[in-house]
Amino acid sequence: MEWATLQHLDLRHAGRSSKPLQPHAAAFHPSQALVAAAVGNHIIELDAYTGCKIASIDIGSPVVQMSYSPIGGHTVIAILEDCTIRSCDFDSEQTCVLHSPEKRTEQISTDTEVHLALTPLQPIVFFGFHRRMSVTVVGTVEGGRAPTKIKTDLKKPIVNLACHPRLPLLYVAYADGLIRAYNIHTYAVHYTLQLDNTIKLLGAGAFAFHPTLEWIFVGDRRGTLLAWDVSTERPNMIGIIQVGSQPITSVSWLSTLRLLVTLSKDGALQVWKTRVMLNPNRPPMQANFFEPAAIESLDILRILSQAGGEAVYPLPRIKSLEVHSKLNLAALLFAVKFGNLHIDAHLNITGGDNRKNRAAYTREGRKQLFAVLQSARGSSDVLTGRCGAGGTQKEVFAASVLKEKLSSLGSSGILADHQLQAQLQEQHLKGESQLTITDIARKAFLYSHFMEEHAKSTPISRLPLITVLDTKHHLKDVPVCQPFHLELNFFNRENRVLQYPVRAFYLEGANLMAHNLCSGVDNIYKKLYTSIPGNVEFQPKHLIYSNKQHLFLVVYEFSGATNEVVLYWENTDAKSANNKESTIKGRDAAFIGPNESHFVILDEDKTGLALYVLPGGASQEVGKKNVLDEQSQAADLNVGSVKGPLQFLFETEVDRIFSTPIESTMLFASHGDQIGLAKLVQGYRLSNSDGHYISTKGEGRKAINLKVNEIVLQVCWQETLRGYVAGVLTTQRVLILSADLDILASSSTKFDKGLPSISSDGKVIALWLLFSSTFFFLSLT
């Protein structure tokens, strides 16, 4: 996995200003792919995938901190430099002052630390200034709750605020590391999060909440990351790790990747995974709860250069990281620094002052660099780094100390992190295991002189949106759902009335969710698992639904266990109990036949295939006699009269199987290899196997060859005058195939230029086939 740039949101002409301004605050919509950016005196709402500007509001003063209202709508609550609290409604493009300071002359800057907390349970906002003794609560709608100052039961400086995303709780963090949970209605204390005196804390710098579990992640100002389990009556600390020496300013949970991201005050960004406890009977090891995630470090220069962006010099420090609560999206905000001069992001620097400050900064930087390098010679003349071979622990420690000192000087006069790693890798490939301090100094000076003349140092007037690429899970960012689409002959109808289904189905954890297309309401349609051990991580992989059989096949992936396919019959009789469900071991599933009267399960080894017959689905071509023979040896599933399994065996490994409306025929795909059809009739019986043999390499067999690293993502069939045709979506193209695997049409480039590979709108169902159906019609007519 690695960080990559999705796009750069263009904010250069915010408020029709002739001078480039740098965004200094940002916030994501809680459920939609929308982002709000604060530039100068304006707040701009944009589409996170297309980059289109939706609305812009001039609020009269720069934003210090802001957040979308979790109650709904397109409303942002912001604290401004004039200390007022404003509500900005993008639908009406109107603002409303919710709270004004007692002293009209009171002013703060964009770097001032203020605390803002919103709850989805009430239209109110809690806010407070850093290290004050009280919290103020005010309504978020015009004419709502009047401002009220709340004095907590502890007379201690308050250093942070947060609201629970599901419960009526307000968390107040104090300067001594203590955190108390108060009821938002009565302000009664529910519980306290506090460590013993052996571990010193300085107060929470950031909060994050697990989306499903009652886990709270706290980033302390001492550089300590903690995890609390508050599901019990007495909260327990389940994890602790020292991230660094700098205060932690941001903690965010990546829902799609199930990873935790921390940002320190010095701009260091780290990603963590929570350790899975394999033995629930043993007490959790707090020191082993957090583990570094297997993801490449964020390269600022690469992020700024990708997707049509431009690099700046010196390399900026990350000031803030805003993460979307549901999507694989994040926004980077940078600080501007030239030597000892700290510049607010919303201010501009003239060209002459810019060059003068930069020159002074680089000269001073080189002087400090030389002093650091000279002092480092006494400890170690060798920089081994991550790529160095044979380096001792003492050398590695000296290298890390040196690197920290160099980083504290800024990026002027030193090699950037990605260039330093490239030098270490180059030395390692040449067989040289040591890189001397002299080498580092020489390349650093050369790099500094070059960058002074060729790189830009203007404010970063674009907001980079980044994502985490995972080549093993191309559809991780798309909800696991059942897509629907227009029929091919829709445009030939006289009335052209489209009969949409009542609801669309998608998966959220262990729940089968139903999204009502009329009201937009989401409900739990069926809880597929009544209980799953807390030490087992799981995620849904595929959802297949049969309209004719009213049967769901849901594939789940479990950590440390085999995958399972859940069979669930939709309740069509209101009087009967809704309890028809069972599970089968397997990694993929598909329906076959025009009546979808059979389904197949792909085994974990990718070569075994099991065929099951639904009630009334005896096939003429599948060999009725063989099915009955298998039924006499295998136990029936406990879901009515489903018969099977009838075992088959692929010649080579198969990665995915897909449904087909063709009698006794299944479509399979191997990543980077081929797409083929398998006829499930009695074939050649292996001498040492009880199953049927499916050839995947035989000569004369029709197949579609895939490109290198090309992976089939989705397949959908429709019936036309030419017979059945299939729309095939891969990671590189869209194909239109006949029932005989003839290519009728094909795209030459990716149908979606963005990252992730398929754009989705939160929990709204992904309807890529709406596009491909039009493609079908234009190609076949």
Predicted confidence (pLDDT) per residue in 537-569, tens digit: 777 888 999 988 889 999 988 876 678 999 988
| 635 pLDDT higher than 70 | no
Q: Are 310 and 8 in contact (CB under 8 A)?
A: no
Q: Are 566 and 583 in contact (CB under 8 A)?
A: yes
Q: Are 263 and 330 in contact (CB under 8 A)?
A: no
Q: Measured between alpha carbons, how far is 516 from 503 in angstroms, rounded to an integer?
A: 4
288 pLDDT tier (thresholds 50, 70, 90): confident
Q: Measured between alpha carbons, how far is 566 from 490 in angstroms, rounded to an integer?
A: 34
Mean pLDDT, residues 274-303 taken together? 71
CA 149 to chain centroid: 37
31 closest CA partner among 767, 760, 773: 760
Q: Measured between alpha carbons, how far is 482 from 514 in angstroms, rounded to an integer?
A: 10
Q: Measured between alpha carbons, how far is 290 from 653 in angstroms, rounded to an integer?
A: 35
193 pLDDT tier (thresholds 50, 70, 90): very high
514 closest CA partner among 522, 568, 41: 522
**Per-position DSSP letters for 300-343, written without gaps between them:** HHHHHHSTT---BSSPPEEEEEEE-SSSS-EEEEEEEEETTEEE
- Give pairs for 151-157: CB < 8 Å, separation 24+: 152/180, 152/182, 152/187, 153/180, 153/189, 154/178, 154/180, 157/131, 157/132, 157/133
Predicted confidence (pLDDT) per residue in 15-66, tens digit: 666 677 889 999 999 988 899 999 989 999 999 988 889 999 999 899 999 9
Predicted confidence (pLDDT) per residue in 676-724, tens digit: 998 886 444 433 444 578 888 766 678 898 887 788 888 988 888 778 8
| 247 pLDDT higher than 90 | yes
- Residue given tokens 């060999």 in the structure block: 623
CB-neighbour burial class of residue 45 (10 A; exposed 0-12, middle 13-18, buried 19+)? buried
Q: Measured between alpha carbons, how far is 600 from 666 in angstroms, rounded to an integer?
A: 9
Sign of the dihedral defined by the CA atoms of residues 622, 625, 628, 632, in that order: negative
Predicted pLDDT of residue 340: 35
What one-letter code names the amino acid at 498?
L
Q: Measured between alpha carbons, how far is 532 from 404 in angstroms, rounded to an integer?
A: 44
User: How many degrees, rounded to 5, is the angle at CA 582 between CA 578 and CA 583?
Assistant: 145
| 270 pLDDT higher than 70 | yes
The better pLDDT of the pair 644, 551 is held by: 551
Mean pLDDT, residues 203-214 taken together? 90
Q: Measured between alpha carbons, how far is 169 from 687 in angstroms, rounded to an integer?
A: 66
The better pLDDT of the pair 17, 296 is held by: 296
Q: Name which of 88-102, 672-686, 747-761 the model is least confident about.
A: 747-761
| 729 pLDDT higher than 90 | no
The token pair that represents 17 in the structure block: 């200003």
487 pLDDT tier (thresholds 50, 70, 90): low
Predicted pLDDT of residue 64: 93
CB-neighbour burial class of residue 397 (10 A; exposed 0-12, middle 13-18, buried 19+)? middle
What one-letter code names the amino acid at 149?
K
Coil vs helix vs strand at 626:
helix
What one-letter code names the amino acid at 9?
L
pTM (two decimals):
0.64
Predicted confidence (pLDDT) per residue in 308-320, tens digit: 888 776 778 899 9
| 632 pLDDT higher than 50 | no
Q: Which residues contact 120 (CB under 8 A, 6 or more apart)?
A: 30, 70, 71, 165, 166
Q: What are phi and psi of 353, to 5 degrees?
A: -60, -35
Mean pLDDT, residues 512-532 taken together? 83
| 769 pLDDT higher than 60 | no
Residue 430 DSSP symbol:
T
346 closest CA partner among 731, 44, 651, 124: 44
| 212 pLDDT higher than 60 | yes
Going through 155-247 in order, the beta strands assigned E by DSSP cover 158-163, 169-174, 179-183, 189-193, 204-209, 215-220, 224-229, 236-242
Predicted pLDDT of residue 578: 52
Going through 510-626 in order, the beta strands assigned E by DSSP cover 511-516, 522-527, 538-546, 551-558, 564-569, 581-585, 588-592, 598-602, 608-613
